Structure 1
Amino acid sequence: MELEADSFWQASYSHYQQPDVKDACLWLQDEKGLNVNLLLLICWAAEQGIELTPVEIDTMLTAAAEWHEQNIAMIRQLRRATEAATWMDDDKREQLKQKLLDSELTMERIEQQILVEQLKRLAPAQRNNARAEQSFWNYLLHLNIPLDEEIQAKFGQLL
């Protein structure tokens, strides 16, 4: 089993383009505070035969937290603020927004590398019968987010 960041990036990019996946990921991020890269990793890891426990999820989130907060969250906040900058010329606003989005994606890719490195340390051997659903429920359990129908529906879209 090869756990490589480039493979994860390609798989997650392709998965994110699937109908409803982007909307589900963004809703889970914006409404419930979930990390999109970890959500995508949960799906990818299950395909690799790996199911993540709550402790493993905590370890992965902790490993990526500083990078996420100091880089991704900051750039995302700037990009979203740019969208509201109506005083700026439309073309310049769109150019700036695109540059910030490109930077955000670069930072996301680095976060994925951090997550894959943690996954390698936590799950060196393939496990049988991995289920993305169980890893997702473990993620919610870790964050003390109750499972409701809306979250179940969004996760169904993510899969």
Structure 2
Amino acid sequence: MLDSNRLRRLEQMPLWDFALAFYADPEVERACLALQDAGGVDVCELLLHGWLYVHGLEALPDALAEQRQSREAWQREVTQVLRHLRRSLKPEALNSDSIAALRKTIQKAELQAERENLQRWQSWALEVVAFEGRLKNAAPRSQDVAKWLQDSLYLAQLDKECVDTSGARESVSQAFQVLATRLDRFEVPR
């Protein structure tokens, strides 16, 4: 049975608010971007797991797998397209004010796409009818939070697939450690 106090606190801190507060830490931002670029991690899903974690909850794997397909499609078809466009315009933006303004507009659209994705994750997690089938009380974790987070994202295969010549494995491992440390210290507003 889910702890109703945990659910109430979860409802009082929207995922977007958590994401803004957590991501405001420059180390968290760097870690998220390293995981996104070197490990192919969906930062929105990563933030979902962090949000649930600080409230003592976690997503059930089967329910998560279903939603993940929908969220991955959104990321692939919307967010990643905007991100690619924004990044590809960066060199031109250095020499053109109009391209710089366009790039800034695209960056705002990319942020809005991320916010929409987070809102959809939140709706999925908080849908009252489905609470029992989507979330569970998390066991206290005094051990390796970084490994739990990596496993939650189904990235066990990441350790096998990262090419060490580029330092990707070490970068990914360090990023998970940074996030684990920050999650353990994150203070949920009361």
TM-score, structure 2 length as denominator?
0.70
1:154 counterpart residue number? 175
Rounded to whole Å, the distance in 1 between the matches of 2:85 and 2:12 is 26
The one-letter code of the counterpart of 2:152 is N
Rounded to whole Å, the distance in 2 between the matches of 1:94 and 1:5 is 38
The reply to whether residue 105 of structure 1 matches residue 111 of structure 2 is yes
- Unpaired runs of 5+ in structure 1? none
Q: Cα 1:136–1:57, aligned 2, differ >3 Å: closer, same or farther?
A: farther
Rounded to whole Å, the distance in 1 between the matches of 2:44 and 2:108 is 16
Deviation at 1:130, TM superposition (A): 5.4
The reply to whether residue 60 of structure 1 matches residue 67 of structure 2 is yes
Report the secondary structure of 1:129's partner residue. coil
- Unpaired runs of 5+ in structure 2? 1-6, 161-168, 183-190
Rounded to whole Å, the distance in 2 between the matches of 1:9 and 1:42 is 13
2:165 counterpart residue number? none
Deviation at 1:113, TM superposition (A): 1.4
Q: Cα 1:58–1:24, aligned 2, differ >3 Å: closer, same or farther?
A: same
Report the secondary structure of 2:14's partner residue. helix
Larger Rg: 2
Identical counterparts, % of pairs: 24
1:129 counterpart residue number? 139
Report the secondary structure of 1:51's partner residue. strand
CA offset digits 1:61-105 (Å, max 9, x no partner): 21212221111011111111111326x843222211110010001
TM-score, structure 1 length as denominator?
0.82
CA offset digits 1:124-144 (Å, max 9, x no partner): 4651435554243231446x2
